[in-house]
Amino acid sequence: MSDARTPAQIEADIVRRRDQLAETLDEIGVRVHPKTIIGDAKAKVASTVDQTVGRAVVAMNRTVSDVKAQFVSEDGAPRLERVVPVALVAVGLVGLLAVSIKRRRA
């Protein structure tokens, strides 16, 4: 079987392939352009930072919830057996800090 295309069909095929090649080259030019590469790198870094910050926020929320559970019961009432000793230690530390600052100034 021979290819029975006319010269006009062959020319149209060449034009179509040339247009496809030009489009492909334009796309490659955009992909390798420094601004595109920098933009892609920035987007990747931003995505990584967002993911890292998201994981940090989740971890922080979990930690806060765990600490809160130590000092507040499930019904929302403070657990005095845990709150009072911590408050006394905090007051003692603040008192020691105040005395230490006062001694340094004297």
Domain ranges of the chain: 76-106
Give the span between the Cα atoms of 67 and 86, in whole angstroms. 12
Q: Other CB atoms closer than 10 Å to residue 89's CB: what's the count?
A: 10
**Tens of pLDDT along the chain (106 residues)?**
556 899 999 999 999 999 999 999 999 999 999 999 999 999 999 999 999 999 999 999 999 999 999 999 889 899 999 999 999 999 999 999 999 998 988 7
Per-residue buried b or exposed e for 3-20, using 16+ beta carbons within 10 Å of the residue's own CB: eeeeeeeeeeeeeeeeee
pLDDT recorded at residue 2: 59
SS3 for 72?
A: strand
